[in-house]
Structure 1
Amino acid sequence: MLPICGKCHSAIKTRPSSGYLSCSGTCEKRFHFKCVDVPESLQEQLESVPGLNWKCSDCLKKCVSFDSDSLNVFLGKKFEEMVSNLKEVFSDLKTDLIKNAERQIKDTFMEPEPVTSFSSILKNKTKPAVIIEPKNPEQNFAQTKTDIASSIDPANEKIQIAKVKSTKNGGMLVGCLSSDQNLRFKQLAQEKLANSYVIRELNGISPRVRIVGFSQKYEEDEWVELADYMKSVNNSIFNVSSSCKILKFWATKKKRSTYQALLQVLR
């Protein structure tokens, strides 16, 4: 059966001399040259140039047309957005890399922070201090600090301050490195600030320590000697000027042949 022309709907002879061409679009129809008004010059090119295609008017209408200038503007904006996104990604990546590098350097080369030992905490808490509180209940800590600083010169008195902190009612706690310096600071405060302030000494806490592992029971009349011995073998815990006493001595619950003692640290 002979193919039909997509334009005139008559049969198309398949001999080359019949003069027809096939649409390369979606319809895949055949047309007489004369029916589609194809110039002779184009006919020759279609026949002689391999890969040169032709589409009928109906298939051309189905093709999407565009304005080249508008397309270039659109593509340009998309390109700028892509570049901006890439810059943001690289910036975040750079920041993360720097932070990771700094963290690795710190972990590798920085010295670890010292761990506060039980003995250092105990020594600090058992040290005495002086509390200076204003008689005026409306006075704040800033005024108290100013008055103390203008009245007492620690450097001139050769007093080394170990700790300073605010207390309630606008007061100030001052602790020195030694008991002698602490006593000297208290005397100076009483001489120069007693009219407007109440000065009192804080002797520090008296912590209790439970020691487990005694293999024998000690009677109460032996506790003083035992306490002195415990201080001598635990000098890393107790201050030189401090002392201790045994409050209780009893057997452990799990093992009745093992004993424990409760010590109280004193100044």
Structure 2
Amino acid sequence: MLDYPAWLPEINDKKSYSAITKGKSAIIIKPKDATQNTQATKADMLHHVNPVAENLQLSGVKNVKNGGILIGCNSDDDNLKLKKIAAEKLSDKYDIKVVAGFSSRVRVAGMTEKQSAENFINSIKSQNKDVLSEKFACKVLDINPINIATH
């Protein structure tokens, strides 16, 4: 396990991709060497970029495939500032880009009856009050209940 600088808040790999990018942009730092692991990418980024000294407020760090990391900041301004600093110091070994925030997608399994889109949305809201904000909005693209074969 790599030792991280004492000034860095604990990195929480438990945050989901959608939690980090929810409603705002984030930064992806991917090594140009696809064999590099994410721990090496984190260590290299932290060696060259000091979020505390740069007055950046990180909201989360997530491992992504091919040795990359996704870093979210508390504001889009901080994300852009992080991208600029990372590009200046890391662009020779890394691809650095901004990813726009997006709405999460869900797949609901186990439905056995056809529902209206309105009933379906109400079910999602009532079952997920603790994780959905008041601004929650969704669009139902398709509802296909599963067929249960009886033996």
TM-score (norm 1): 0.33
Distance 2:41 2:21 in 1: 24
Distance 1:190 1:122 in 2: 24
Select the structure with the greater relative contact order (CA < 8 A; seq sep ≥ 6).
2
Partner of 2:135: 237
Asked if 2 retains the 8 angstrom alpha-carbon contact of 1:123 and 1:237, the reply is: no
Q: When the two structures are aligned, how many residues end up with a matched partner? A: 100
Identity of aligned residues (%): 41
Asked if 1 retains the 8 angstrom alpha-carbon contact of 2:83 and 2:98, the reply is: yes
Distance 1:175 1:123 in 2: 5
Q: Deviations over 1:209-232 (max 9, x none)?
A: xx96xxxxxxxxxxxxxxxxxxxx
Partner of 2:102: 205
CA RMSD of aligned residues (A): 3.0
Unpaired runs of 5+ residues, structure 2, are 1-17, 106-116, 119-132, 140-151
Identify which of 127, 144, 147 aligns with 2:41: 144
1:178/1:152 CA distance change after superposition, 3 Å: same
Question: Does residue 195 of structure 1 match 2:80?
Answer: no
Query: Given residue 193 of structure 1, which amino acid in structure 2 is its aligned partner?
Result: L
Q: Deviations over 1:49-107 (max 9, x none)?
A: xxxxxxxxxxxxxxxxxxxxxxxxxxxxxxxxxxxxxxxxxxxxxxxxxxxxxxxxxxx
Distance 1:145 1:157 in 2: 17
Question: Does residue 161 of structure 1 match 2:58?
Answer: yes
1:207/1:139 CA distance change after superposition, 3 Å: closer
Distance 1:155 1:146 in 2: 15
Distance 1:132 1:140 in 2: 12
Query: Given residue 125 of structure 1, which amino acid in structure 2 is its aligned partner?
Result: K
1:149/1:207 CA distance change after superposition, 3 Å: closer
1:123/1:172 CA distance change after superposition, 3 Å: closer
SS at match of 1:169: coil
Structure 1 ranges of 4+ moved more than 4 A? 121-124
SS at match of 1:205: coil
TM-score (norm 2): 0.56
Query: How far did 1:125 drift?
Result: 2.1
More helix by share: 1
Distance 1:207 1:173 in 2: 16
